[in-house]
Amino acid sequence: MSIVVTGATGHLGRHVVAQLLERVPAAEVTAVVRDKEKAAGLAERGVRIAVADYNAPETFDGLFAAGDKVLLISGNEFDKGRVGQHRVVIDAAKAAGVALLAYTSAPGTLTASLADDHRATEEAVLASGLPYSLLRNGWYHENYTENLAPVLAHDAVVTAAGEGRVSSAARADYAAAAVAVLTGEGHENTTYELGGDEAWGFAEYAAALSARTGRTISYRPVSGEALQGILTGAGLPEALAEMLAGVDASIERGELVVAGGELSRLTGRPTTPLAVAVEAALKD
């Protein structure tokens, strides 16, 4: 039996594997990666490395074994048919008869087009008949704190989210939830709506940045159309710009406020405050 993590060297996957290694022996962890060299450090620690690609179904043949617990981390190649990519993993997991298939999804309240692939993947997971856990991750702090350059260049936070609020948390928080599911008991056939303990608005985000930079950073709400123009002007593909503007529209409608505290209950600790993530990002 192994705990298998797909996308193990990605933004979320690396946190998951690092936290798994604090809980279980390295020999019980399998990291699925596309680039073996990026996983060299994990191999040195005794983690089993499996090279496989969502776009190459044959690479998943025989990768899983009966009794494995598998975390399918959603792909980020929005232009390559993510649902089909995910089905490659689901089909391989079903063929092997894994003990649990966990999937990093999106909040059930989210109606933006970003959620479409997640809903379709959830349907495929349920149709597989495997024991499952749907980890409906809310927004990440890092979606903002890793993109501070334009904010600091113009001393402005620009979104099309209006007065909407976000229950974001750090990637490490969501990784801790995944680890709790993968190493715990009683998580079969569950759906977890996960988000940060405190919802915040973008004026508060701008104020947090101002407090920590000593500069006056304002919040400047714009229309969805204006935001798309800004993003395409910065070089983003039009489809991606449209999707991001759609997420902001969902935020304005309150769809990324995830109440209930399931993330902190699952991990056994409070989620990382936004201010802490801002401070860490500004130090990097």
Q: What is d(CA 234, CA 9) in angstroms, rounded to the nearest whole number?
A: 27
How does pLDDT run across 45-74, given as a tens digit for each residue? 999 999 999 999 999 999 999 999 999 999
Q: What percent of the chain has pLDDT over 70?
A: 99
Q: How is residue 202 annotated by DSSP?
A: H
pLDDT-based confidence at residue 78 (cuts at 50, 70, 90): low
Query: How confident is residue 110, by pLDDT bands cut at 50, 70 and 90?
Result: very high
d(CA 108, CA 104): 12
Question: Which pLDDT belongs to residue 284?
Answer: 73
Average of per-residue pLDDT across 81-89: 93
- 49 CB burial (10 A radius; 0-12, 13-18, 19+): middle
Average pLDDT over residues 19-24: 97
Domain range annotation of the chain: 3-138+171-195+259-271
Predicted confidence (pLDDT) at residue 193 exceeds the cutoff of 80: yes
> Which residues of the chain form beta strands (DSSP E)?
3-5, 29-33, 48-51, 69-72, 100-105, 132-137, 156-159, 165-166, 190-194, 200-201, 218-221
Question: Given pLDDT bands bounded at 50, 70 and 90, which one contains residue 77?
Answer: confident
CATH topology (fold) of 3-138+171-195+259-271: Rossmann fold (3.40.50)
- The pLDDT tens digits for 98-109 are 999 999 999 999
What is the C-alpha separation between 134 and 188, in angstroms, rounded? 10
What band does 79 get if pLDDT is binned at 50, 70 and 90? low
Sort strands 218-221 and 3-5 into parallel, antiparallel or unpaired: unpaired
Of the listed ranges 64-78, 107-121, 209-223, 249-263, the least confidently predicted one is: 64-78
Each residue's pLDDT tens digit, 138-182: 999 999 999 999 999 999 999 999 999 999 999 999 999 999 999
Report d(CA 19, CA 14) in Å as an integer: 9
Strand partners, 31: 5, 49
- If you average pLDDT over every residue of the chain, what do you get? 95
Q: In angstroms, rounded to a whole number, what is the distance separating the alpha carbons of residues 279 and 208?
A: 9
* Cβ atoms within 10 Å of 48's Cβ, excluding its own: 16
Task: Check pLDDT > 70 for residue 261.
Answer: yes
Of 65, 1, 59, nearest to 32 (Cα)?
Answer: 59
Per-residue CA distances from 220 to 165, 206, 251 (Å):
15, 9, 15
